[in-house]
């Protein structure tokens, strides 16, 4: 390989690395901005009704009951 090919290959790799780093940085900044917005506007979980947690727990208990029945060989 001649030095020109090596230089072009290195420049291409550097350009690809710079582009990927820039994209990752923009994504990180966007995520941080979203979290800042959620913290300042209180939009984290305040829109959910209070019963949602109880419904999720009941759903998980039902799933566990079904899995235990399957493990025990009981047909539901």
Mean pLDDT of 1-23: 96
Interval 7-18 mean pLDDT: 97
Helix (H) or strand (E) holding 3: helix 3-41
% of the chain beyond a pLDDT of 70: 83
* pTM (two decimals): 0.50
Say yes or no to pLDDT of 46 above 90: no
Give the dihedral sign, CA 69/71/72/75: positive
What does the domain layout of the chain look like in residue ranges? Answer: 1-44, 48-76
Task: Evaluate if residue 19 carries a pLDDT over 70.
Answer: yes
Local structure of 58: helix, strand or coil: helix
């Amino acid at each position: 390989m001649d030095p020109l090919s090596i230089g072009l290959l290195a420049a291409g790799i550097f350009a690809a690395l710079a582009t990927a780093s820039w994209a990752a940085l923009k994504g990180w900044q966007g995520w941080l901005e979203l979290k800042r917005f959620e913290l300042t506007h209180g939009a984290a979980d305040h829109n959910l009704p209070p019963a949602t947690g109880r419904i999720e727990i009941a759903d998980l208990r039902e799933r566990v009951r079904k899995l235990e029945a399957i493990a025990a060989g009981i047909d539901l």
